[in-house]
Amino acid sequence: MNTKLRNTVLIIASVVTVICVIIGSVDVTKKLSNIFGGISFGKSVSTEAKSLDGDVKEIHLNLDLSNITIEKGSENTIEISNNKSSDSVVTFENGILTVECKEEVKLTPFSGAASDVVITLADDVDVIDVVCSVGDFEVSDITAKEFTSSLDMGDVEIKGCKFDNMDISGDLGDIKVKKVVFNNGSITSSAGDVDIELSDGDISFDVAVDLGDVIINGKEVDNQYKTTDGSKNLSVSLNMGDLDIK
């Protein structure tokens, strides 16, 4: 092969490579946007809003791909926006609200986030139990006796709430707890930062961080840290990430 032909072939190969990289980047960007941003490419969005008649005693969510919000409101309502052509299973009987949006995770350029779930509560509840594979979870100004959340991938933010018992776990994502009143609190995370802003100082700590910094009230402490002088309890177990308690 002569030099001119060889150079031409190399130029063509380079151009094809660049085009493939660009197409791949766009495809990956779409996938990530679909999962984390709830953006749907070429899919219609259906929104269903319901008013919940009667008192809500318990909330049980078991979801695959969902961004979830539970917040204080003037009435009990639930609103679900689906980006995929499947129905959410919602039941409300005897004061127990159950939502399931089971979706098989398929990473294609046209896969939208399964749902956005927004629940408003007018009064206190007994139980909030949330399980989700992928998505962010936010709770604000809610009072419950038992609060449990388990996320595989996504950020969690809890603020201005009151719980008797609080149990938060996550595999990958940041966890923020701001001005939450609790008697017993447990936070477990495999990877991600944990930021806690306490509502009072009467708390005993049991902290274990494998890889990361531990800052309590502005001071760095040992990765294994324990106190027993508080009437309330908070345990934090973190495999990888920084812990900041203030």
In this prediction, residue 46 has a pLDDT band, given cuts at 50, 70 and 90, of: confident
pLDDT at 5: 43
In this prediction, residue 138 has a pLDDT band, given cuts at 50, 70 and 90, of: very high
pLDDT at 200: 86
Encoded tokens for 26: 């766009």
Low-confidence winner among 75-84, 89-98, 124-133, 207-216 (lowest mean pLDDT): 75-84
Q: What does the alpha-carbon distance between residue 165 and residue 185 come to, in Å, rounded to a whole number? A: 6
What would the pLDDT profile of 148-197 be if each residue is shown by its tens digit?
999 999 999 999 999 999 999 999 999 999 999 999 999 999 999 999 99
CA distances from 176 to 41, 43, 159 (A): 31, 32, 8
Q: What does the alpha-carbon distance between residue 226 and residue 224 come to, in Å, rounded to a whole number? A: 7
pLDDT at 109: 45
In this prediction, residue 103 has a pLDDT band, given cuts at 50, 70 and 90, of: low
Judge contact between 158 and 168, C-beta under 8 A. yes
Reported pTM: 0.79
pLDDT at 106: 53
